[in-house]
Amino acid sequence: MQPDIALDLSGLNCPLPILRAKKALATMDSGKVLSVLATDPGAPKDFEAFCRQTGNVLLESLVQPDGRFALLIRRK
């Protein structure tokens, strides 16, 4: 899936990845997809909770071979 916006948030710790993603999502139209790369070990759980609370959809949450977390979020 081709994201509409891609953020590389590697090296940032909680809560910065969520805050940066929230800011990016606010600029996007409904149905658009945000791609996030993160290194924070809590990112998968944090983004799962964030999407549940905000109504956005966590489409994918994977660990890449380099250890980074790749997440895809669809804007509500």
51 is catalytic: no
Query: pLDDT (tens digit, 9 = 90+) per residue, 13-43?
Result: 999 999 999 999 999 999 999 999 999 999 9
The token pair that represents 20 in the structure block: 């940066």
Catalytic residue among 5, 14, 59, 70: 14
Detail the DSSP E strand segments found in the chain: 5-8, 33-38, 57-63, 69-74
Residue 30 pLDDT: 98
The token pair that represents 4 in the structure block: 């509409």
Q: Is the pLDDT of residue 67 over 90?
A: yes
Burial of 3 (0-12, 13-18, 19+ CB in 10 A): middle
For the domain bounded by 5-74, which CATH number is listed? Answer: 3.30.110.40
The model's pTM? 0.95
Residue 1 pLDDT: 81
The residue behind tokens 């380099």 is 66
